[in-house]
Every structure is written in structure tokens, then in C-alpha cells.
Amino acid sequence: MMETLLGDGEDNALIRFTMGSAFIKHGKFEQAIEQLEKAIELEPGFTAAWLKYAEALYGNGRITESLSTLSERIRVATEKGDSDSIEKISALREHLQKST
């Protein structure tokens, strides 16, 4: 269905995020990374997309890159005073670090 929307010229960060999340759910991390990179390109402040992106990187074995991405997003969220994002990003980073 999402591919149909893209084929119809509808492209936005939410569609790409949804596709990336679905790919993660099915263990297709490379495809997820591709979709989530596009979501982030379309909407750089989309925190949920950054979280899923880090999760996909981790699932693809790119652990250092995943943790670096989360650390950078914490820095950005701190600069913006976005405490909600800081909490979510920190929780995911801690979870992934424990899984390593």
C-alpha cells in the first residue's frame, strides 16, 4: 500500500517512516535504513524516525554507528531543550548498549 502512495507521487516523512518501521518488523534492516534515511531527509527533526533509524542500524550490525547516531540526537535535543526526546533517545541508547 505504501509503495502505491509513492507511485502516485505522494512522498512524505510519515510514509517513509511507516515503511521503514515495517521493514524493521520483518528483519529487513537494509531496506529500513534506506526508507528511514529518506524520512529524515524529508523531515530532519522527526525524532521517531531517528530512533527507528538507529534501531535499523543496530539490527544491521552497525552498532557503533547506531550508538553514535543516538548520542548526536541527544546533543541536538539538549540544544533545543527537548526533554521528551532526550528521554526517549537515552532509553533506547541504554537498551542497545545493554544488548551489546
Q: Which residue has the higher pLDDT, 52 or 8?
A: 52
Read off the pLDDT of residues 13-28 as tens digits, 9 standing for 90 and up. Answer: 999 999 999 999 999 9
Q: What distance in Å separates the CA atoms of residue 76 and residue 85, rounded to the nearest whole number?
A: 10
What is the pLDDT at residue 4?
56
pTM of the model as a whole: 0.86
What is the pLDDT at residue 23?
98
| 52, 17 Cβ separation under 8 angstroms | yes
Instruction: Say which CATH number the domain at 22 has.
Output: 1.25.40.10
Element counts in the chain: helices (H) and strands (E): 6, 0
What is the pLDDT at residue 1?
46
One-letter amino acid identity for 7?
G
Q: What distance in Å separates the CA atoms of residue 56 and residue 96, rounded to the nearest whole number?
A: 11
What is the pLDDT at residue 7?
57
Please give the tally of structural domains in the chain: 1
Read off the pLDDT of residues 30-71 as tens digits, 9 standing for 90 and up. Answer: 999 999 999 999 999 899 999 999 999 999 999 999 999 999
Domain extent, residue 57, equals 2-99
Burial 5-42 (b: 16+ CB within 10 A, else e): eeeeeeeebebbbbbbbebbeeebbebbbebbebbbeb
